[in-house]
């Protein structure tokens, strides 16, 4: 970004007072709802591929994804033009000037970039299917472009909320309703980011992998980073916990709602005849390490490096204590609607002997387990360091 102009502190002070009195802007609600639409469409699309197979460019899940992306882009683009050409000095004080002409917040720019990436990925994905057939992984090239675009929009949502929350810290404390509104919007946008990140890594986080150390390597890499960042940057004492609750409730609802609708495979071979949508995965129990992280944020007032150690150890221990035995519950719950364990891809043999059992290759024992968990601890500590730095940066966002 070039030629960025930063408003004076006196103008920002006036902006802080005025905006605190004005309440929560509508576009924040719209951006968070766009993030929700994207996540509904994404989880629905995964279920569609598991249940029906080939989908078109304008399938229902795709429309939900595009609706969220395009709407977020249009709202942000309109806001950039409005503030640039018809905005007041106070409105411009909350933005940065770029290209010598336009005024925009960081959240607006993320949403616009994300919308462009998502729109670009749509014809790319359609061409990919026409040329190579059904995707076998989530991270195919067109899906990667789409996911990057969706992540940008979700980051745009959370950064937009943080900018207003941080800029209006004192007025918000004086207005309880606004404070609760910002907490809810932050929790929702953070929870949807967690869901997106989990979805990207879900190929390595299935129930069949929960007794192997690689599962904990992946979880220790992605979750401490985001949970700690949300815990540190939130004005609530329970930023990570609320985000984990949103993630958990959203996936559970999708897990229960999707199987209520009929679906028939349209690709062969059909080894597992199904009649309803197959759900996505049951959420991981990251709620418990999220609580541990929030408690560390509240009570650990030591130096930075000691806090990072607390975060890394706290996450891995809490996650391991709850997720490892819960894997046995998932495997024992054959066909249980609550956990969604009856799901099975229509192209896979339903009588596979390891459908409800851990394969020998997926279980870590002895020294492999010990060494693997030590590696997971190192990854968790590194992820905690990055998450703490990111969270402290987000606390300072005001544009």
pLDDT value of position 251: 97
Positive or negative, the Cα torsion across 320, 321, 324, 326?
A: negative
Dihedral sign, Cα of residue 226, residue 228, residue 231, residue 232? negative
Query: Which residues lie across from 96 on neighbouring strands?
Result: 104
**CATH fold for the domain made of 205-399:** particulate methane monooxygenase, chain B (1.20.1450)
Residue 154: count of CB within 10 angstroms of its CB? 30
What is the arithmetic mean of pLDDT over 312-331? 96
pLDDT in tens, 206-236: 999 999 999 999 999 999 999 999 999 988 8
pLDDT at residue number 213: 96
Token couple for 81: 């033009």
C-alpha to C-alpha distance for 57 and 52, rounded to whole angstroms: 14
* Cα 371 from Cα 363, distance rounded (Å): 14
CB burial readout 33-51, b (16+ within 10 A) else e: bbbbbbbbbbbbbbbbbbb
Over 70: is that where the pLDDT of 4 sits?
Answer: no
As a dihedral over the C-alpha atoms of residue 302, residue 305, residue 310, residue 311, rounded to 10 degrees, the angle is: 120
Encoded tokens for 95: 């933005």
- The domain segmentation of the chain, as residue ranges, is 8-204, 205-399
pLDDT (tens digit per residue) in 158-189 = 888 888 777 655 444 445 556 788 889 999 99
The DSSP call for residue 279 is: P
CB atoms near residue 224 (< 10 Å): 31
Q: Which residues contact 308 (CB under 8 A, 6 or more apart)?
A: 381, 384, 385, 388
More reliable by pLDDT, 302 or 374: 374
In the chain, the N- to C-terminal Cα span, in Å, equals 14
* SS3 state at 382: helix
326: left (phi over 0), alpha (psi -120 to 50) or beta: alpha
Average confidence (pLDDT) over 37-47: 92
**Maximum alpha-carbon separation in the chain:** 70
* pLDDT value at residue 139: 62
- Taking residues 288-297, what's their average pLDDT? 97
- State mean pLDDT over 263-288: 91
Q: What is the pTM of this model?
A: 0.87
Banded pLDDT at 387 (limits 50, 70, 90): very high
- Describe the chain by its helix, strand, coil percentages, rounded to 5: 70, 0, 30
The chain-wide mean pLDDT, for the chain, equals: 84
What percentage of residues in the chain have a pLDDT greater than 70? 86
Reference 382, options 316, 323, 321, 319; nearest CA is: 316
Is it the case that residue 275 has pLDDT exceeding 60? Answer: yes
Residue 221 structure tokens: 């890499």
Would you say residue 331 has pLDDT above 50?
Answer: yes
Dihedral angle computed from the Cα positions of residues 350, 351, 353 and 355, in that order, rounded to the nearest 10 degrees: 20
Only one residue has tokens 């309109």, namely 78
State yes or no: pLDDT of 10 exceeds 60: no
pLDDT at 375 over 50: yes
What pLDDT, on a 0 to 100 scale, did the predictor assign at position 20? 43
pLDDT over 60 at 3, yes or no: no
Point out which residues pair with 103 in neighbouring strands.
97
Banded pLDDT at 338 (limits 50, 70, 90): very high
Tell me the mean pLDDT in the region 102-125. 80
Tokens of 59: 């399938």
Average pLDDT score over residue span 307-332: 96
**What's the burial of 117, exposed, middle or buried (CB within 10 Å: 0-12/13-18/19+)?**
buried
**Per residue in 183-200, pLDDT tens?**
899 999 999 999 999 998
The residues, any chain, with a CB within 8 Å of residue 398's CB and separated by 6 or more, are 12, 94, 163, 166, 167
Give pLDDT, residue 14. Answer: 46
Position 5 pLDDT exceeds 70: no
Who wins on pLDDT, 87 or 215? 215
With cut-offs at 50, 70 and 90, classify the pLDDT of residue 297: very high
12 — pLDDT class (breaks 50, 70, 90): very low
Percent of the chain exceeding pLDDT 90 equals 46
CA 127 to chain centre: 27
What secondary structure letter does DSSP report for 107?
H
CA distances from 319 to 31, 47, 140, 223, 284 (A): 31, 27, 29, 10, 9
For the cut 50, the answer to whether the pLDDT of residue 131 exceeds it is yes
């Amino acid at each position: 970004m070039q030629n960025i102009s930063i408003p004076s502190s006196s103008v920002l002070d006036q902006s802080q007072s005025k905006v605190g009195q004005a309440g929560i802007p509508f576009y924040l609600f719209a951006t968070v709802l766009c993030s929700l639409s994207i996540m509904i469409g994404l989880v629905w699309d995964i279920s569609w591929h598991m249940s029906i197979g080939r989908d078109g460019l304008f399938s229902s899940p795709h429309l939900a994804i595009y609706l969220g992306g395009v709407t977020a882009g249009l709202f942000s683009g309109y806001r950039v033009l409005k503030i640039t050409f018809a905005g007041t000095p106070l409105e411009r004080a909350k933005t940065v000037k770029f290209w010598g002409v336009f005024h925009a917040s960081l959240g607006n720019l993320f949403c616009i970039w994300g919308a462009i990436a998502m729109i670009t990925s749509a014809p790319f994905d359609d061409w990919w299917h026409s040329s190579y057939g059904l995707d076998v992984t989530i991270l195919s090239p067109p899906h990667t472009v789409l996911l990057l675009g969706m992540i940008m929009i979700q980051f745009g949502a959370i950064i937009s909320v943080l900018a207003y929350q941080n800029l209006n810290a004192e007025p918000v404390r004086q207005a309880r309703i606004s404070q609760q509104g910002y907490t809810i919007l932050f929790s929702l946008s953070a929870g949807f980011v967690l869901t997106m990140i989990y979805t990207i890594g879900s190929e390595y986080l299935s129930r069949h992998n929960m007794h192997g150390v690689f599962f904990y390597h992946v979880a220790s890499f992605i979750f401490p980073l985001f949970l700690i960042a949300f815990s540190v940057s939130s004005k609530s004492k329970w930023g990570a916990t609320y985000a984990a609750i949103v993630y958990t409730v959203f996936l559970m609802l999708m897990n229960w709602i999707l199987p209520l609708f009929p679906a028939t495979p349209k690709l062969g071979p059909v080894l597992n005849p199904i009649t309803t949508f197959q759900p996505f995965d049951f959420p991981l129990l990251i709620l418990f390490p999220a609580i541990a992280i929030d408690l560390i944020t509240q009570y650990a007032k030591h130096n930075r490096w000691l806090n990072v150690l607390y975060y890394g150890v706290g996450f891995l221990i809490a996650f391991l204590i709850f997720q490892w035995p819960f894997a046995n519950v998932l495997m024992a719950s054959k066909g249980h609607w609550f956990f969604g364990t009856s799901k099975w891809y229509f192209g896979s043999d339903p009588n596979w002997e390891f459908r409800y059992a851990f394969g020998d290759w997926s279980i870590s024992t002895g020294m492999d387990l010990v060494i693997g968990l030590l590696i997971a601890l190192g990854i968790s500590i590194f992820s905690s360091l990055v998450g703490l730095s990111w969270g402290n940066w987000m606390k300072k966002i005001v544009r």
